[in-house]
Amino acid sequence: MPRFPTVFSVAAGAVLTTSALAYAEGELNLYSSRHYDTDERLYSDFEEMTGITINRIEGNADELIQRMVAEGANSPADVLLTVDTSRLERAKDAGVLQSVESDILEARIPGYLQDADNQWFGFSQRARILFYDKEDVTDPPQTYEALADPAYEGTVCIRSSTNVYSQTILAAMIEHLGEEAARDWAEGVKNNFARDPQGGDTDQLRGIVSGECDIAMSNTYYFGRAIRKEVDGLSDSIDGIGWVFPNQDSFGAHMNLSGGGVAANAPNRDNAVRFLEYLASDQAQEYFSAGNDEYPAVPGVALSPSVAKLGFFKPDDVDLSQVAKNVPLAQQIFNEVGWE
């Protein structure tokens, strides 16, 4: 069943207002690999509403996870925030998160956007979709599978195999198609490269503008950002770029998560749970959309204009915990087919 027309309507469901957050005082030690300036508003509003002071340590996700492992029982971390399901699952596998029982989180966050053991929860989403040059491409691929069609040889710009977004999309293909078909897909896409993988998602979109490639894969929020504000080498050419939400007649468009969980040895556990519940509030969810051009995780939260312009679509509601478990196999397949 399509979810996004329901999720992003003015819809109903449990409504968590920020007034529901009890005034608590104390501290919260946040380890975060999110690097967006707009998150400052999330933190300052939480502090003002609750009296809880946020102490922040920012860094690379893997480095933060390893730091928590090394700190062990003495770790000051209360909450880990990071981007991509594979990293959330990596934190769980490393034993640095703990299960959380929260009626608010259970009511607000859809089951497929949270860990089966309640060790992590998704708070914002990005669809990983296909963009194309409207002048040069009259028949863009409508599915991820079609991206491997020889008809698109020499046209595709996409990120390297070491990037978590690439790893997760292939991991999702393994889940949907099986290992053998996913390997064939990876080899087919590699054969269609317009250039060797390089740069971030914005660089893939700029590749369309420069004429290096006709088709690019990118997370939606990079394009949404270029709609909302000036992004050098991209915003001035927005009108020439079209987009496709793939697999609308099958499993839907692949979704990446930004999410978090309570640290295994959180010294301020109650405050940590309050913070996660705050991230699921309408106000915080609207910040994710308006401030960073992401899709809210909570049903019924309004989209910002830049996100709404992309339109409604059917998302892939595959269990992201299962997708994350396929990441090591995805990396092995990348290596075998020569996807750099």
Q: Are residues 150 and 88 in the same domain?
A: no
Q: Give residue-wise pLDDT tens across range 75-114.
A: 999 999 998 888 999 999 999 999 999 999 999 999 889 9
Domain annotation covers residue 223: yes
What's the whole-number mean pLDDT along residues 172-189? 98
What's the whole-number mean pLDDT along residues 20-32? 74
Q: Which two tokens stand for residue 152?
A: 């698109």
**Non-local CB neighbours of 2 within 8 Å, separated by 6+ positions:** 252, 313, 314
Half-sphere exposure of 58 (CA within 13 A, CB side): 9
Q: Are residues 332 and 206 in the same domain?
A: yes
Q: Are residues 234 and 244 in the same domain?
A: yes
Model confidence band, residue 25 (pLDDT cutoffs 50, 70, 90): low
Mean pLDDT: which of 31-35, 112-116, 140-144 is highest? Answer: 140-144
Task: With H, G, I as helix, E, B as strand and everything else as coil, classify residue 332.
Answer: helix
Report strand pairing: 215-219 vs 121-133: antiparallel
Q: Are residues 193 and 221 in the same domain?
A: yes
pLDDT (0 to 100) of residue 191: 98
* Average pLDDT along the chain: 90
pLDDT (0 to 100) of residue 86: 86
Q: Are residues 264 and 202 in the same domain?
A: no
Q: Determine the structural domain holding residue 285 and report its residue range.
A: 9-125+257-310
Answer whether residue 292 shows pLDDT above 60. yes
Domain annotation covers residue 190: yes
Structurally, the chain folds into a number of domains equal to 2
Among 68-82, 170-184, 310-324, the least confident range: 310-324
Task: With H, G, I as helix, E, B as strand and everything else as coil, classify residue 120.
Answer: coil
Answer whether residue 11 shows pLDDT above 50. no
**Non-local CB neighbours of 191 within 8 Å, separated by 6+ positions:** 148, 150, 153
Q: Are residues 201 and 162 in the same domain?
A: yes
Domain annotation covers residue 318: no
Among 197-201, 202-206, 241-245, 301-305, the least confident range: 301-305
- Distance, in Å, from the CA atom of 253 to the CA atom of 3, rounded to the nearest integer, reads 11
What's the whole-number mean pLDDT along residues 247-258? 95
Domain annotation covers residue 182: yes
Domain annotation covers residue 196: yes
Q: Are residues 332 and 187 in the same domain?
A: yes
Q: Are residues 153 and 267 in the same domain?
A: no
Answer whether residue 9 shows pLDDT above 80. no
Answer whether residue 35 shows pLDDT above 80. no
| CA-wise closest residue to 104 among 18, 183, 46, 174 | 18
Q: Are residues 220 and 304 in the same domain?
A: no
Q: Are residues 228 and 330 in the same domain?
A: yes
Give the CA-trace dihedral at 109, 115, 117, 121, to 10 degrees.
-50
Q: Between residues 292 and 169, which one has the greater pLDDT?
A: 169
Q: Are residues 240 and 99 in the same domain?
A: no
pTM: 0.86
| CA-wise closest residue to 78 among 51, 105, 100, 101 | 100
CATH number at residue 300: 3.40.190.10
Give the CA-trace dihedral at 183, 189, 193, 199, to 10 degrees.
-80
Q: Are residues 224 and 92 in the same domain?
A: no
